[in-house]
Amino acid sequence: MRDTTLTALDPEPLSLDALLAQTPGALLAVVVQDALTGAVLMVAYANAEAIRLTLATGEAWFWSRSRQELWRKGATSGNTMRVVDILADCDADALLYRVEPAGPACHTGAHTCFFRRLEVTSWVR
């Protein structure tokens, strides 16, 4: 039986060429999610070469905005991420990498980079 969590309006898969044609020369935000737990692990950026390397190797590659270079997640720490699925958002200007992490995602050693709660004294409603 077909998975009915998707609707009949779901588009066909987007090719890498089509994605890059829509965003030539752009850095795309990449939300990285644990494929097993659904936890958001980190946000990074990818250029065309990082996306190509990710597709070719099955490991998460990104573009470092501060160092202006490609980097493979876990190259230094050993905490690699095997990419099991990639989704593009509706505008094709951001990606979701669903991964199987080999260790903590955060450079602090935390499982996720999202562990610091923002102090909010009141909510505007």
Looking at residue 117, its amino acid is R
From first to last of its 125 residues, what are the pLDDT tens digits of the chain?
Answer: 334 444 445 677 888 888 888 777 889 999 999 999 999 999 999 999 999 999 999 999 999 999 999 999 999 999 999 999 999 998 888 999 999 999 999 999 999 999 999 888 887 77
CA distance 1 to 21: 35
pLDDT for 120 equals 86
Residue among 44, 109, 33 at smallest CA distance from 73: 44
Domains of the chain: 23-101 (3.10.20.810)
Chain centroid offset of residue 20 CA = 16
Give SS3 for 38: coil
- Cβ-proximal residues to 69 (8 Å cutoff; 6+ apart), any chain: 63
Tokens of 93: 């200007």
